[in-house]
Amino acid sequence: VTSMKPTRSEKTTIFRNQFVHLYSARAEFPNGTKEYFVTEKGVRVGCLLLRDDHVLLVRQYRFLIDDYSWELPGGGVDEDESSEQAIRRECIEEAGIVCNSLEPLFDYMLGTDVSDNHVYLYSCEDFCLESESGDGLETDARAWVAFEHCMRRVFSGEIRDLMTITALLTYDHIRMQRT
């Protein structure tokens, strides 16, 4: 089935600060117009740090669940850095880990309708410990958790962060393909 793409209007900014850009735009279809309200939070990165079949998780307070969440180190990409530079910085800040080498794991769009965020996931098995914890500003703990226990925590609902879930499921799929 072939459909004609709609004509798109220019973006109209509703709100913008250093963390988020909310804008509206219209798409003109043959049968009518649809208005979109899009949230753009920039490019995000995450890293699956692996050691002896264990995954490094960091603990952060998350406002929307009003609780602490165990997640992979990760965060936003600054305008002047690449995704690889950003994840190296995030691993130091959040986990006290210096990544010697990174492997691209997976990349995806967080949404394709009204959430404009590209996510790049990496894996790393070659790293060194810079400190016993991160900088203490974003994370308050870290733990090496057996990979299989992480997977159980995903399916029990204990791990709720989408980036962490995506990285674990992707890595598990890749592992299964190798055997």
pLDDT (tens digit per residue) in 20-50: 999 999 999 999 999 999 999 999 999 999 9
What's the token pair of residue 6?
């709609």
pLDDT confidence of residue 145 = 98
Query: In 10 A of CB 76, how many CB atoms?
Result: 16
Residue 21's Cα: distance from chain center in Å?
18
Low-confidence ranges of the chain (pLDDT < 70): 133-134
What radius of gyration, in Å, describes the C-alpha atoms of the chain? 19
- Predicted local distance difference test score (pLDDT) of residue 136: 74
How confident is the model at residue 3, as a pLDDT? 79
Looking at residue 2, its pLDDT comes to: 73
pLDDT at 130: 87
pTM, to two decimals = 0.91
